[in-house]
Amino acid sequence: MSYTPISDIELKTDIIEHINEDHPDAVLDIVRTYADVQAESAEIVDLFQEGAWVRIGADAAAQETLIPFLLQDAGIDEQIHYLVFHAAVKQGKLIGVQKNQFFTVLATEKASPNMQRLILQSAAALPENEPGYALYFMLKKLEHKNTASTGHRSKYYTRWKNLLIMWWIRRISSQRRHKLVQSMYQGMRYYTVRETRKSQADNPYHDIAVVDVFLHGDTQGSLWAASLQKGDLLRSTADYHEHTDHLQTGKSVLIADETALPTVAALLQQWKNPVAPIVISITSSGQDQIYLPDSLMPAATALHRMDNDEQLADKIIRLLHDIPEIDAVWGACETEVATKIRKFFRNERHLGGKQNRVKGYWRKEKEK
């Protein structure tokens, strides 16, 4: 049987690389839900208008099949997102509540004029020496009575509520669907952990998290971070682990605006690659460039400081054109800028998904 190809090859490639590299568990959920309940490994090989073409297994006995999309009147990215969420709910997972974790604010300070530093103490162990580790915070302060673990009845209720939402999403218009999905993530934000450490030398695990939040106007996240005080209780419901192992050898490029500078700072602080990196530090205010001081750079690092303006993507690509050898890249910034840079590395420098990790951490609002 033949299927209808996706005309936007760049978008299709972005989606396939992103989900295979960053969300392999989601791919496995999809395959176990719709194709093979016993599957141990899987990857998306191609995307068509009708569905996702997947490979199940990793050896000579691997099989391939199409998993049909479930929505009507939806773009390819929306189809994949829904397939991921629907499979997760079918597998008994709670969307948006993967890992409840509670924190007490110990102190706040400014890491740069527009970067708010939160010193938090965790009630559970935190990863050690992991650049890019991020926590998904509820943008509110909690009362201590709310820190109890979610009970079985609550989890049962949440699962059935999610199943109902998945059922309802398939039956409403694309516009209403978009608004509903957006409402599910109101009041939640991922923020990167700059570093973790022990509160006491003899503590068995790292329980202190240093979280740096970029303050940019009267946004919900900025107002929340700026309002926090010592003793406030916070909650995160999920975490995320960036992939940075590909930077350990060869010539690497690091690209970050304020939302991703904490990851770059952690990478530089722990740099083990004998080859010095190329660093592109992007800020809207020149005063925030102090967040990434020259003293943090490994010897022979090529550091480029840039203003965040309308020509940013073009300026970065012109700079990259003049670099003869690039083996790996990690970067995060505004979505459209990240897309242009990722395409440059894919098409001009021929870096595959595992070596070309440039992503959008936020999206600029379109002028009405």
* Average pLDDT, integer, range 332-340: 96
Neighbour count for residue 21 (Cβ, 10 Å): 16
Separation CA 221–CA 339 (nearest Å): 24
pLDDT band at residue 7, thresholds of 50, 70 and 90?
very high
Are the C-beta atoms of 199 and 149 separated by less than 8 Å? no
Whether the pLDDT of residue 26 is over 70: the answer is: yes
Q: Which stretch of 25-34, 83-92, 196-205, 287-296 has the lowest confidence by average pLDDT? A: 83-92
Q: Average of pLDDT values for 318-340?
A: 96
Top pLDDT among 298 and 181 is at 298
Structure tokens at 281: 């530090």
Give the residue, 1 or 160, on which the prediction is more confident: 1
pLDDT for 153-166, tens place per residue?
456 556 666 666 66
**Residue 367 exposed, middle or buried by CB count within 10 Å (0-12, 13-18, 19+):** exposed
Residue 173, pLDDT score: 74
Cα–Cα nearest to 133, from 272, 38, 270: 270
Phi-psi region of 259 (alpha: psi -120 to 50; beta: other; left: phi over 0): alpha
Give the separation between CA 161 and CA 315, rounded to whole angstroms: 47
pLDDT at position 119 over 70? yes
Paired strand residues for 65:
54
What's the pLDDT score for residue 180? 64
Give the per-residue pLDDT at 364: 85
Give Cα separations from 82 to 166, 181, 238 (angstroms).
8, 10, 19
Residue 353's nearest CA partner among 82, 16, 90 is 16
Give the residue, 23 or 147, on which the prediction is more confident.
Answer: 23
Residue 84 has pLDDT above 70, yes or no: yes
Q: What per-residue confidence (pLDDT) applies to 278?
A: 98
pLDDT at 126: 97
Residue 109 pLDDT level (bands cut at 50, 70, 90): very high
Beta strands in 21-177 (DSSP E): 42-47, 51-56, 63-68, 101-112, 115-122, 134-138
For position 160, what pLDDT does the model report?
60
Check if the beta carbon of residue 20 is closer than 8 Å to that of residue 28.
Answer: no
- The two tokens of residue 197 are 């450490």
pLDDT in tens, 216-251: 989 999 999 999 999 999 999 999 999 999 999 999
Query: Average pLDDT of 295-308?
Result: 97
Q: Tell me the mean pLDDT in the region 167-194.
A: 76
The residue among 313 and 169 whose pLDDT is bigger is: 313
Question: Is it the case that residue 8 has pLDDT exceeding 90?
Answer: yes
Q: Which of 38-42, 146-150, 170-174, 243-247 has the lowest mean pLDDT?
A: 146-150
- pLDDT above 90 covers what percent of the chain? 75
Report whether pLDDT(149) > 60: no
Question: Three-state SS string across 9-24, please?
Answer: HHHHHHHHHHHHHHCH
Residues 215/218/222/227 CA torsion (nearest 10 deg) = 120
DSSP structure class, residue 217: S
The mean per-residue pLDDT over the stretch 128-132 comes to: 95
Residue 151: is its pLDDT beyond 60? no
All domains of the chain in start order, with CATH:
9-90 (3.20.180.10), 101-143+186-240 (2.40.30.10), 245-362 (3.40.50.80)
Mean pLDDT of the chain: 90
**Residue type at 252 in one-letter notation:** S
Say how far apart CA 238 and CA 229 lie, in whole Å.
23
Check: CB of residue 277 under 8 Å from CB of residue 216.
no
